[in-house]
Structure 1
Amino acid sequence: MLTTRRPFLADEELGKKDDDHRPQKPSHFWRSSKRWKLPRLRRIILGVAALYMLYLFIGNMPTDLSPAPERFNPAFAESRQRAGMPWSPPAPSPAIPQRDPPPRDDYAPEGSFYYEGSVHFHSLGKTLYRFRKSPGAHGLPASRAVVFAGANLKSISDLLPLACKMANQRANEVHLVLMGRDNVSIEGIQHVNGIDDSDCPIYWHDGRVDYAQWSTDARMERAVASGLAYVQAYLSPQAVITQGESSEEVFFLQGIERKARELGTAHIVLPTATRDIMWISSLDSHSLQAWNDMRIEILIQAPTQSSGSFIRLIRSLKDADYLGSAPGLTIELPHDVDPQLLQFLKTMKWPSDASNKVTLRRRVRHGVLDAAEASLRTAEAFYPQDPNMTHVLMLSPQTELSASFYHYLKHTVLKYKYSTNAGQMASDLLGISLELSSSLPASDESVNFPTLDTNRFPGLDEREPMPVSLGQVPNSNAALYFGDKWVEFQSFLSERLAKEVTSSHEKVISERYPAVMEYLLEFMRAKDYYLLYPAARGTQTLATVHSDLFQAPEEYSDESWAKSTKPDNVEDQSN
């Protein structure tokens, strides 16, 4: 029997030790006999169940998890990735996991493209996440991202040389997003095109939707638009560059165009193979952002007599490459028009079926204009719809242009007007000349135009395929004038003519050139503006000024020098 737990009244005289006062421990036999025992069958069942659960746990254990510190601290993962490889993203999976075709429901369309389920991206978020930006004291930092995107493998192969060259310029953060149906890994695309991360430092993103191989065009278009929304959220690209309809999938272009318009992102559709427009690689992201917004209007004043030189100019304009978007053309006709010219204009076809972009303006007033009236007529012939984006290209009938002149103009305007580094130079530039500055339009050869301090213009790039220089002298043979400066010139000319004095004004510009040139020179000197001129180099030619069919400007046609002999110093000028 167990000893009861009660106070022990000890008697010192009995000689008992204190140990006798402690309660006795139950024996081992007692504990064993009292333990509850499971029935043998139940223990076997529970053991089998435990082993089965352990098997399920091991069989479904994930094998693609990142290290634990990175899973619980995304910032640590991002910094670790950037520290190890500053410009290259984490290596993508060696192959896209194979999936079985999705089930075909009763209402699915016939053919191999039938799936119309919801859109899911399995790889896009993994590479985009590292580019998430935290707002600072002044908001989000300005993005330098330029995204190349494609759905067709041939299109991607064509884009890669341009993307790689742009990335090597280090002016932009260049990304390439795959959005097609082809089940080819990124490594496979790199291998086929002979590139690697060392010579092509672009960021790759797999934006292909799940079940892309069986998706309808409508689902693929939704996937492209959704993928671009994710790209915009993480990268905020200044421009998205794709190939055109001749090289790309219709669903891809429709999805990109629709979503880019909603997001306000510039979508640049390349009209030709990238090997013909590799100069795009030298433009920064801010220049590319203005690609679609920049407009050029061509202004020509037709001669009063023979129209042969004018027709030659129009034909050279028709043969030029306008990168898929022909500029507008305004032709100023005199009161007495050459019948041959009218017949030519009746049948003239402007490029890209843009006949609505041709404007003819015939002067009603009879007689010869004086210098002031002729200058006003030229200044009033153009007014920009958007002074910051619309510019005028003034051409002389004696000029003939090369087929690539528009490439040079667009590249130079984007680079020196809209780039991040344009700065002070953009504000001091009146425009861009296509003609060399070797023949200055001075009436006196002793006139010295100011020597240029190129250190003042850090935006000038001596590594350009065709180097440029600055000159404080106007040009009317072939020169583009910026819209905002042209508006400013109109105000200047209005005030200048209102204050015209009767005293003779010393002319600097030769009368071989339109009268407006004299006022343009005054304007440039008053505002300290410059024209950007191409520098002579090799056999590169943008504009050729012919003298065989030369005609003096109408306002100077009755001058004695024009009646006596052929104008002196008039030669074929080419650059």
Structure 2
Amino acid sequence: MAARSRFLPGGRDYAKKDDDMPAHTQGSSTFGSWKSFRRRRVILAILALVLLYLFFKNMPTDLPPISQRYDRRYGHLYPPGPPGPHGWEGQELGGHGQDQDFNGPISFLHLAKSMRGKATTMDAKGHVLFAISRLESIPRILPAACSMAQHNRTRVHVAFMGRLSADWADIKAINGISEADCDVIIHDARPDFPAQSSITRMDVSARASLGHIHSVVQLRAVLVGDSEYEEEHFVRAVEDKTRAMGVSLIALPANGLGGLSWISSLDGAALGHFSQVHVDIVIQARPESAAALMRLLRSIKEADYSGLSLPRLTIELPPNVDPFLTNYLANFKWPPDGFGSESRLVIRHRIDMNFLSPVQASMRTIESFYPLMASESHVLMLSPDAELSPGYFQLLMYTLFEYRYSARRTDFTNRLMGISLELPSHAPDMSTESPWVASHLDQPLVLWQAPNSNAALYFGDRWIELHSFLLRRLMTDAELFKKLSSTPSISHTLPAWLQPVLEVMQVRGYYMMYPTLWASEQITAVTMHKELDQSPEEYRKEVEESADSSKKAPMLEFAEDQPLTANDEVERMKQKESLVYTGSLVEPLLDSIPLQQRRRSLTEVIPLLSYAGEKVAWEDSGTSSSKFAQEFAQTIGGCANYDAGKPENGNVESLFCLAAG
């Protein structure tokens, strides 16, 4: 059978019919078919040209490279490798129309490489981390990290967790930093494909990378810029993660470290307490002292608190308050620029119009503060006659972290009662000259066994001891009349609460730290104004009675051969006002203590001074306090026998032997 007939049934009949058709009919049919076919081809060609034109005209020009495109249906990128051949190379990603909504699984392709070798060395220095999310932040943060590494008291890490790439060699060269001057450990802590990652994915990445680094090196602190120059969501993620890890978070000011540059000199142990420490300021206003109090509050408001937690401010007002002061306090904002934030100002007003007795005044002052966290909450007692330097808080916090929380603090801190900002010319008895006046000491810091009420920070655990001591002291001697002969009297120009403080310092062997660097220059962190000098309320009645009796006394008459003295002028000289120092108070202190000396034991470089100003050897300091404690327990505490050397007698409660009930 012919091939045609196999595919076309009845093929022979068709052929026969074709043969029977006329010739002109055949030609006409062939021409018509050809004409129809040709018309279709033209139409299809025109349509194809139109489609090609529309395609090329509307072709997208902003697609990323093929290696960076991904299929949304499968939730992962193609290919699965990194976006560039090197972890720190690439273009500015995440902009120019690229989507940032990828939420796939996270991989850190380069983080494990940097967490080896010296990065994992564990020693007493401790590890700290600078976290960065924006490339623009690196030139501002890197110098601080390099400075901290130069002090060699911590192991410094820098982790970049943002979207962009960074060429660290170029950045160091631009900032004039050599490899030898900047011994920091750099981590590429970015996730894979940061350009397309959503904000949620970048947040999870920052938290996870922090967790990985902490699990290897046990961070003491994380330093991060605030939301002024870091991504706000990134700062929030770091805050949450450090809180969960129990690691201290240090917020770096947006305008640079400035007055906070001293943190570079701290060790890891001190930096580990940075975000946990809280300070309360307590001011007890006196009648007719509105102007002085307003001056003090103005100096507090204008001080430098950059990078630090603002202290809580408590003001205790007398029964009669000047209306002008009331109006001033009604408009006083604390925090000063904290619009809409929680106020940290506490105002208390006394009702009792009667003069307080010395016992009542002591109780009132000591009850004005009680720390919730004994080791991390402290109180700064300020006289309303004080005026503070703008750098007072930076100085206070530096000395607090360096000498209270540093790794070498153990023996030294056991002797510290607090830190004084004032350099008084005389001891609290107003007759004993201060050591820097009498002996012209050249050390920038000394420990002196004399309390201060004008401007001094008292540690929280010491204040708790003071509560316990005064409680039992009043149970054995309700009027605080009993005193040891070795305990100096407190002048009635100073508040009565200094007397139990001095007794605690003697029985426990505590000392106040005084920064004596500016003693000879009459420049200090605080100035005491005496133009409206008033005696404390608890001694006001006594002073007034003394004044009345002096009015009734006859006019003095001098014999011709009687020598006259200049005692009155000497007393006035004691009240000479120093100038408030407006510059940095920390930098001169750091300059006065060489780096090698700061690395030595503190007991070797800071002298101990008795109340009388005599030097006390550190190894002998415990002997004098034990002797005083034994005498105190037997004379005032009601104890028949007392051995200060027993372990159970290592607290103030053991000084009192109270009858049951």
Q: Which residue of 1 aligns with 2:257?
A: 274
Q: Which residue of 1 aligns with 2:278?
A: 295
SS at match of 2:446: strand
Per-residue displacement from partner, 1:104-142 (whole Å, max 9, x unpaired)?
Answer: 5279997442433221222111011335869xxxxx866
1:470 aligns with 2:447: yes
**Distance change >3 Å, CA 99–CA 515, structure 1 → 2:** farther
Q: Is the 8 A contact 2:135 2:166 kept in 1?
A: no
State the AA in 2 paired with 1:246.
E
User: 1:248, 1:491 → 2: CA distance?
Assistant: 47
The partner residue of 1:491 within 462, 468, 480 is 468
The partner residue of 2:392 within 384, 389, 405 is 405
The partner residue of 1:349 within 327, 333, 351 is 333
Q: Which residue of 1 aligns with 2:149?
A: 167
Per-residue displacement from partner, 1:301-359 (whole Å, max 9, x unpaired)?
Answer: 01112311011001111112223532111111222222222222122111243663222
**Distance change >3 Å, CA 334–CA 502, structure 1 → 2:** closer
The partner residue of 1:125 within 112, 117, 132 is 112
Per-residue displacement from partner, 1:223-255 (whole Å, max 9, x unpaired)?
Answer: 111111111111111111111000111232122
Q: Which residue of 1 aligns with 2:171?
A: 189
The partner residue of 1:443 within 418, 430, 433 is 430
Give the TM-score normalised by structure 2: 0.65
State the AA in 2 paired with 1:479.
A
Deviation at 1:194, TM superposition (A): 2.2
Q: Which residue of 2 aligns with 1:572?
A: 577
User: 2:171, 2:343 → 1: CA distance?
Assistant: 44
How many residues get paired?
A: 462
User: 1:155, 1:542 → 2: CA distance?
Assistant: 33
Per-residue displacement from partner, 1:410-441 (whole Å, max 9, x unpaired)?
Answer: 11111111111111111110000111244433
Q: Is the 8 A contact 2:316 2:348 kept in 1?
A: yes
SS at match of 1:200: coil
User: 2:469, 2:498 → 1: CA distance?
Assistant: 13
Give the TM-score normalised by structure 1: 0.74
1:371 aligns with 2:355: no
Q: Is the 8 A contact 1:374 1:515 kept in 2?
A: yes
State the AA in 2 paired with 1:475.
N
SS at match of 1:298: strand
State the AA in 1 paired with 2:72.
D
1:384 aligns with 2:361: no
The partner residue of 1:241 within 223, 244, 252 is 223
Q: Is the 8 A contact 2:282 2:314 kept in 1?
A: yes
Which structure 1 segments of 5+ residues have no match?
1-97, 135-139, 455-460
**Distance change >3 Å, CA 539–CA 111, structure 1 → 2:** farther
Per-residue displacement from partner, 1:514-539 (whole Å, max 9, x unpaired)?
Answer: 11112222221221111111113357
Q: Which residue of 2 aligns with 1:18?
A: none
SS at match of 2:115: helix
Q: Is the 8 A contact 2:259 2:394 kept in 1?
A: no
Q: Which residue of 2 aligns with 1:59?
A: none
The partner residue of 2:538 within 555, 562, 570 is 555
Moved more, 154-163 or 355-364: 355-364
Q: How large is the RMSD of aligned CA atoms in angstroms?
A: 3.0
1:105 aligns with 2:46: no
1:255 aligns with 2:260: no
Q: Which residue of 2 aligns with 1:480?
A: 457
Alignment of 1:128-143 (within 5 A): 128-130=115-117
State the AA in 2 paired with 1:117.
G
Q: Is the 8 A contact 2:333 2:343 kept in 1?
A: no
Which structure 2 segments of 5+ residues have no match?
1-64, 76-93, 552-567, 581-661
Q: Which residue of 2 aligns with 1:304?
A: 287
Q: Is the 8 A contact 1:450 1:472 kept in 2?
A: no
1:423 aligns with 2:404: no
User: 2:245, 2:69 → 1: CA distance?
Assistant: 32
Q: Is the 8 A contact 1:300 1:396 kept in 2?
A: yes
Q: Is the 8 A contact 1:143 1:238 kept in 2?
A: no
User: 2:275, 2:248 → 1: CA distance?
Assistant: 7
SS at match of 1:425: helix
Deviation at 1:267, TM superposition (A): 1.7
Per-residue displacement from partner, 1:453-500 (whole Å, max 9, x unpaired)?
Answer: x9xxxxxx97xxxx3221111111100000100010111122223333
User: 2:285, 2:150 → 1: CA distance?
Assistant: 46
**Distance change >3 Å, CA 260–CA 560, structure 1 → 2:** closer
Structure 1 vs Structure 2: percent identity of aligned residues?
35
